[in-house]
């Protein structure tokens, strides 16, 4: 099989390429040039392209660079900025997977005659088999590194042409294999999630250069002023620190959390942890990996990349009723549905 491996310059994609070679596939490496600005987060830099090229050389495979920077700016960076301006909390890694890795790159691979695209994600794909007519996306074998949450947008067409060679391996074994092969990425630290946000400037500097950040009032659930924030667009539902609320004893009832963000009026509403809890999650823009669950389907819900799955009932339209109260999910964040370790699909909290 001809496989195009997306090599980020990290250890996971390096070992993914090595595993595919061991399996006898014809492997070519490609590094996507996505972000053209400053980056010190361990990906999207010139050094990462160099690391990927050197690993490809060590493995004896061809390596190419695909410039998708315009699409990245349009489909990932611009929506990230617009969502913050609207008071939402976006997940740019999900947007990158949806628009770049498993759309733009997959289409480019098909045009070039490749049979599949492989990445270093920690997830597993099972083909149709007796008693199962569809492809199934499952959690990675290493629970601490499972990345199925950010892959929930993969449908049947994508799953049929995607490979995750390290999905069955624990992270420790991936690093051990890289070391045994003498790959220069064996000890390289994992990258941060948001490659275009630098550690030095942070989210505030990045957004402040693109949209006007406005100070906001902080009010309690009765509408009484209790503090201020320097930039309402930087507040996320569920946030506790940096809300400008006077501190008190560190007890459950004294801590205050952001319950809602209204950028139109520049008001952040805060309340207790009890106020933050909810038994229902509204989801928009659902995409399914396979068959669509019907009304009253029993599922497990995960609302963050490494969050704890919670049993729930899906109403078949847009609402999840959780068996036990959970913290409110920030609007814009991904909400992913599972059936045991199988990904059913996901959308964004409304």
Comparing CA positions, the residue from 150, 137, 149, 142 lying closest to residue 176 is 142
Pick the catalytic residue from 43, 93, 195, 289: 195
* Cβ atoms 41, 49 nearer than 8 A: no
User: What number of helices (H) and strands (E) belong to the chain?
Assistant: 10, 17
Both tokens of residue 171? Answer: 């992270």
Catalytic (active site) residue 96: yes
Burial of 155 (0-12, 13-18, 19+ CB in 10 A): middle
Strands (E), the chain: 2-6, 26-33, 62-67, 116-118, 123-126, 136-139, 162-163, 216-219, 225-229, 257-262, 267-271, 277-288, 297-302, 310-314, 319-327, 334-339, 342-349
119 closest CA partner among 140, 133, 99, 102: 102
Catalytic member of 44, 93, 96, 289:
96
Residue 2: CB partners within 8 Å, gap ≥ 6?
A: 25, 26, 28, 113, 114, 115, 116
d(CA 337, CA 87): 24
User: Looking at 88-233, which runs of residues are DSSP E strands?
Assistant: 116-118, 123-126, 136-139, 162-163, 216-219, 225-229
Which residue's structure tokens are 């790959």?
183
**Contacts with 202 (C-beta within 8 Å, 6 or more apart), sequence order:** none
Distances (CA, A) of 138 to 181, 212, 340: 28, 41, 9
239 Cβ contact list (under 8 Å, min separation 6): 257, 258
Instruction: Tell me which residues are annotated as active site.
Output: 96, 195
């Amino acid at each position: 099989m001809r496989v195009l491996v997306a090599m980020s310059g990290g250890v996971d994609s390096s070992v993914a390429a090595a595993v595919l070679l061991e399996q006898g596939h014809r492997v070519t490496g490609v590094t996507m040039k996505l972000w053209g600005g400053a980056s010190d987060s361990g990906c999207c830099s010139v050094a990462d392209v160099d690391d990927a090229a050197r690993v490809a050389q060590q493995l004896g495979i061809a390596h190419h660079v695909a410039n998708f920077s315009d699409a990245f700016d349009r489909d990932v960076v611009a929506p990230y900025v617009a969502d913050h301006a609207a008071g939402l909390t976006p997940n740019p890694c999900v947007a990158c997977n949806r628009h770049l890795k498993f759309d733009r790159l997959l289409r480019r691979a098909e045009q070039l005659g490749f049979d599949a695209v492989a990445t270093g994600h920690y997830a597993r794909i099972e083909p149709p088999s007796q008693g199962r007519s569809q492809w199934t996306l499952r959690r990675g074998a290493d629970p601490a590194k499972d990345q199925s949450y950010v892959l929930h947008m993969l449908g049947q067409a994508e799953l049929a042409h995607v490979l995750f060679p390290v999905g069955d391996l624990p992270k420790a074994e991936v690093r051990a294999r890289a070391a045994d092969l003498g790959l220069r990425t064996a000890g390289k630290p994992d990258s941060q999630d948001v490659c275009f946000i630098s550690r030095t400037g942070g989210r505030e500097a990045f957004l402040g250069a693109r949209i006007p950040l406005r100070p906001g009032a902080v009010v309690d659930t009765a509408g009484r002023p209790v503090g201020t924030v320097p930039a309402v667009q930087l507040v996320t539902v569920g946030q506790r620190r940096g809300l400008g609320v006077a501190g008190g004893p560190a007890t459950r009832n004294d801590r205050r959390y952001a319950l809602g963000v209204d950028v139109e009026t520049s008001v952040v509403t805060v309340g207790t942890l009890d106020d933050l809890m909810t038994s229902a999650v509204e989801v928009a823009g659902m995409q399914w990996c396979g068959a669509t669950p019907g009304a009253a389907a029993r599922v497990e819900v995960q609302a963050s990349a490494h969050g704890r799955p919670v049993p729930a009932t899906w109403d078949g339209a847009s609402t999840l009723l959780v068996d036990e109260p959970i913290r409110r999910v920030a609007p814009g964040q991904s909400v992913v549905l599972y059936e045991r370790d199988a990904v059913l699909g996901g959308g964004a909290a409304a």
